[in-house]
Amino acid sequence: MRSKFIISAEKVSSFPELGVPEIALVGRSNVGKSSLLNGLVGAQIARTSRTPGRTQLINFFEVESKHAKFCLADLPGYGFARAPGPVRARWKRVIEAYLVQRESLKAVLLLLDVRRTVSEDDATFFEELRGALTDRGGEVLVVATKCDKLSKADLKPALHQIAEALNLEKADVLATSTTKHIGLDTLREQIESIASDPRPMPSG
């Protein structure tokens, strides 16, 4: 799989026009977005960090595999409690502009830390995302991250909790770990299948 960093953009006018289907990663700061992106493409192209809330930009990466050519967009983390109001408000504007105006967007991966209880904010955000995506023929994939951090006995109920909070079937929550390479092949296949779907996106 070949991958390369394209651009960091903070406003709609700097989003790249790549002419390929796009899949975005969203989730709270520190949930593992950049790590998952690196795990999916098998290269350290997205910067990971121990300091939450640093990326306020959308980072675009172009990926080409045997089966598909697509773009991955690493979105800034949402919901960091310590961020001042204006920062959160700005985040919301950037994300909303992105979701509404990004015609090539085919799917959003919503990442949730498997150890955290899904909050009402998370559930609301999921519903909003799903509404925005299904309106345009896209989809939201729910990805539980850092599954290596729980014992086998604790993992099952944790995944169940996520599914229940979002009104999903258990099978709709994909368990992943970048450190233990869990779920990455499955997710990669799902992304490639979405990216190579010849059905055109509804326009407008």
Ligand X SMILES: Nc1nc2c(ncn2[C@@H]2O[C@H](COP(=O)(O)OP(=O)(O)O)[C@@H](O)[C@H]2O)c(=O)[nH]1
Footprint of ligand X (CB under 6 A) = 27, 29-35, 48-50, 77, 145-146, 148-149, 177-179
**Is the Cβ–Cβ distance between 111 and 33 less than 8 Å?**
yes
Least separation in angstroms between residue 111's CB and ligand X is 7
Distance between CA atoms of residues 178 and 149, nearest Å: 11
178 binds Mg ion, rule: CB under 5 A: no
Among residues 110, 148, 112, 116, which one has the least CA distance to residue 129? Answer: 110
Element (H, E) at 111: strand 105-113
- # residues near Mg ion by CB under 5 A: 2
Q: What is the arrangement of strands in the sheet containing 22-27, beginning at the earlier edge strand?
A: 2-9, 58-64, 69-74, 22-27, 105-113, 139-145, 173-175
Least separation in angstroms between residue 53's CB and ligand X is 8
In the complex with ligand X, the residue whose CB is nearer, 116 or 149, is 149
Query: If contact means CB under 5 to 8 A according to the sort of partner, which of ligand X, Mg ion, none does residue 8 touch?
Result: none
Query: If contact means CB under 5 to 8 A according to the sort of partner, which of Mg ion, ligand X, none does residue 102 touch?
Result: none
Query: If contact means CB under 5 to 8 A according to the sort of partner, which of ligand X, Mg ion, none does residue 65 touch?
Result: none
Distance between CA atoms of residues 179 and 2, nearest Å: 21
Residues in contact with Mg ion by CB under 5 A are: 33-34
